[in-house]
Structure 1
Amino acid sequence: MPPRMKLSAITLDCPDPPALAAFYQQATGLEPHPKSHADFAGLTGEDGLLIGFQRVENHRPPSWPDPTVPQQLHLCFAVEDLDEAETRLLELGAGKPDHQPHEERWRVLTDPAGHPFCLTVSG
């Protein structure tokens, strides 16, 4: 039997960990990790999952959908109302790429450090 694994953390490279953590904290309501600092900030969920943000010098944001700088990974968030969530996240500093593959079913946005993430309708 293969070993059981539980996802415990997801970490994103970025130029400014506290700023990116603040964006995701406002977007998700997750709690700041108490040991966050200038080079690594984190948010924790009720289930113990940590979303971490680590400082990388000369960070190059993904250029989605252009693969020149690959996205490498992206986060997906379930929301009740796509339009409402998109509006709120844009107000918080998210970007919206022109290319939207299935805008009626999900939205692709970018966080302030350029990482793409998706909004999908929950349920």
Structure 2
Amino acid sequence: MPLQMKLTAITLDCADPETLAAFYQQATGLELHPASDGDFAGLTRGDGLFIGFQRVDDYRAPRWPDQSVPQQVHLDFEVDDLDEAEALLLELGATKPEQQPGADRWRVFIDPAGHPFCLTRS
């Protein structure tokens, strides 16, 4: 019988945890975790999922799609309207790389710390 594991947290390395947490909080509506401080910030979802952001000295942002600095982690988010979500994310500080391998099925974005993430239709 396989071990039963429940994912409870995902933590991203970055140079500025509070700024990255603010980006994802505005994009997702998740709640800011009360224990957030200058070296670590977190967001929580009602079902207990925790997304953390930890300060790393000499942080090097991923270089997607170039692999000179690998992406390290990749998050996917479902949205009802790709165009509406894209406009909001770009306004919040995400960037959209030219290379879009998903055609019209998903879109790749880069968060303010350089991590790639995707949006897919619900």
Structure 2 length as normaliser, TM-score?
A: 0.98
Q: How does 1:53-92 map to 2 (within 5 A)?
A: 53-92=53-92
Report how many residues are paired.
122
Matched, 1:39 2:39: yes
Q: How does 1:1-123 map to 2 (within 5 A)?
A: 1-122=1-122
Matched residue SS, 1:95: coil
Q: Deviations over 1:24-65 (max 9, x none)?
A: 000000000010000000000011000000000111111000
Matched residue SS, 1:38: coil
Q: Could you tell me how far 1:2 is from its partner in structure 2?
A: 2.3
Q: Could you tell me how far 1:103 is from its partner in structure 2?
A: 3.2
The percent identity for this pair of structures is: 71
Matched residue SS, 1:19: helix
AA aligned opposite 1:21: A
Q: Could you tell me how far 1:118 is from its partner in structure 2?
A: 0.1
AA aligned opposite 1:52: G
AA aligned opposite 2:65: P
Q: Which runs of 5+ in 2 are unaligned?
A: none
Q: Could you tell me how far 1:98 is from its partner in structure 2?
A: 1.1
Matched residue SS, 2:99: coil
AA aligned opposite 2:8: S
CA distance in 1, matches of 2:69, 2:98: 17
CA distance in 1, matches of 2:103, 2:82: 9
List structure 1 runs of 4+ shifted beyond 6 angstroms.
none
Q: Could you tell me how far 1:3 is from its partner in structure 2?
A: 2.0
AA aligned opposite 1:79: V
Structure 1 length as normaliser, TM-score?
A: 0.97
